[in-house]
Amino acid sequence: MTRHYSTKDFFRQIPNALLARYFQGREVFGELDFVAMKEGRPDALFDAWLALPDGPRNEMDAELRDIFALCCEKGFLAILDEARWQLRNDPEATTQLVEKLSALPNHFERAMIAFLDHKDFWRGATHFYRADTLSYWRKRKNLPHRPAAVDDVSMRQLADLIRNYFHHTEGRGRNCVVEPYRRGDRDYFFCYPEDHSQHSIEWVDGKFDPRPHNPAFEVIYVYSQREGTLDLNFRGARKAVEALQSMFATAILKLDELPPDPKDERVYDLNPLSQKSFDFTYAVGSGIENVAVKKLRLSSRVNKGDRITLEANVSQDPDAVYTLLDTIGKAVPLHLYNVTQVELAASVVVDPDKPAKSITIRIGHPNSCSLKYDEVDLKLRDMLEASGIEPKEPETEPETTEVAETLVPGGV
C-alpha cells in the first residue's frame, strides 16, 4: 500500500535534535529554538517552513520525501545492503553500524541518521529501495556465469548502446547515464536515458506556467552470475526488451551475441500447480508459514485465446481453488489446457513481534513475476525455485561443501 507523505506529519516523527541538525546543515531556521519545541509538536517549525521562499523549500521538500521513502523496513534493509557492501572489508565497522542503527527506536530515526551521518550509503540505498518497489521484471536465463564488468569504459559502452537505440527507434535517449551497484551476490545497473521533452504545469515564485523540461526514463538490470540470469525492468515497448538484454550481454558480459533464450523451456513451470497434491518447499527459518494457490488461469492448447480463470478465497480453505477446478473439470477437458498464470497467497513472518503478513505472488508464463528484490521477496523467489516452479540451473563448477539449509515440503 502506498504511504502518504505529509511534511508536518514527517516533522512529528523525527526527534527535534535530528531536525535541528538537518536544517542547520541547510542554514535555515537558525533563530528557531528546537530544544524548547515540544517533541511531536512541530507547529513552530511548520509555520517557519511555510514562510520559506519556494526555491529552498521545494529543494528541501524533495530531499525530505526521499528520507521519508526509506523510513520503513524495506528502506532500512536497503541501507544495510549498501552499507554491508561498502564496508565489506571492515567487518567490525559493519557490525557497529548495524548495531547502532538497529538500536534506534524506529525507522524514521534510522533513515534520518543514515542520511545525516552516512551519505556514502544513501544514493545506493535509495536505488535499491526504488528497485524493491517495482513489479513485473522480465527474466532471461541461459547466460554464461561470467562476472559483470563494472569499469567506467563498460558503463559508457552500455550507456551509448542504450542512448543510440532509443535515439534511432523512438527519437529519445539523446543522453544516458549508468550507475552500477553490488547487492549481496547480485549486480544492479540503474540506467537513465533522456526522455522526450515535456511541458509540465508548475508554480514557480508564485507564477503558474507550463515549463519545459527533459525527464529521464528508467532501465534497471539485476544480474546474477551464480544463476546465470538477468532480470530487466523497463516500462516501454515490448520489442525493446530483447534489444536491452542484448546490450547488457555486449557491454557488461562481453559476449559477441546474446545467447538463445530456449523457447521450448519454461522459466516458470506452472502446470504442476494444477494438482491439489502440489507441495511448496521452503527453508526452515525463512519466515514462510504457508503458501496457497488462490488463482489459476488456464489457456487452451487447441483454440488460441480461449481461457478459463478460477479464483477462490483461500483464507479459510487453502484448497478452495481446487474445489472449483474439480467442478469445472466435470464439464471441460482440462487436459487440453495449460496453466499460464497463477496467483499465490504466501503467509510470511516479517517481524517476530507482529502477525504474519499475507503477500500475493503473481506469475505468468513464461517469464513474468511480481516479486521484487527485497529481503522477503528474495526468500519467496527461493521458495519458487526449491518448489520446482523455477528450476535451478545446474552448477557449472563444483562448489565447496557447506551445510545446507533443511528444506521441507509445506514447511512441516
Enumerate the domain spans of the chain: 7-132, 137-251, 271-409
Q: From CA 336, how far away is CA 211, in angstroms rounded?
A: 57
The pTM for the full model equals: 0.71
**Distance of alpha carbon 405 from alpha carbon 412, whole angstroms:** 14
Torsion, Cα of 293, 299, 305, 307 (10° steps): -50
Instruction: Evaluate if residue 151 carries a pLDDT over 50.
Output: yes
DSSP string spanning 119-155? HHHHHHHHHHHHHHT---EEEE-----PPPP-SHHHH
- In tens, the pLDDT along 13-26 reads 999 999 999 999 99
Q: Convert 339-368 into a string of H (helix), E (strand) and C (coil).
A: EEEEEEEEEECCCCCCCCEEEEEEEECCCE
- Within 10 Å of residue 408's Cβ, how many Cβ atoms? 13
Q: What pLDDT score does 238 carry? A: 84
The answer, yes or no, to whether residue 410 has pLDDT greater than 50, is no
How large a percentage of the chain has pLDDT more than 90?
69
Mean pLDDT of 87-108: 95
- Average pLDDT of span 149-168: 94
Say what the pLDDT of residue 392 is.
44
Nearest in space to 222 (alpha carbons), one of 110, 117, 371: 371
- 99-108 average pLDDT score: 95
Residue 237 has pLDDT above 90, yes or no: no
Q: How far apart are CA 100 and CA 153, in angstroms?
A: 38
What are the grid coordinates assigned to 11, written together?
A: 516533522
pLDDT band at 210 (very low <50, low <70, confident <90, very high): confident
Greatest CA separation found in the chain? Answer: 78
- Separation between Cα atoms, residue 209 and residue 202, nearest integer Å: 6
Query: Residue 347 is placed in which grid cell?
Result: 503467509
Task: Please state the rounded mean pLDDT for residues 126-131.
Answer: 95
What pLDDT is stored for residue 209 in this prediction?
74
C-alpha span between 299 and 291 (Å, rounded): 23
Average pLDDT, the chain: 88
What does the pLDDT read at residue 403? 35
Q: What is the pLDDT of residue 222?
A: 97
Top-confidence residue, 370 or 412: 370
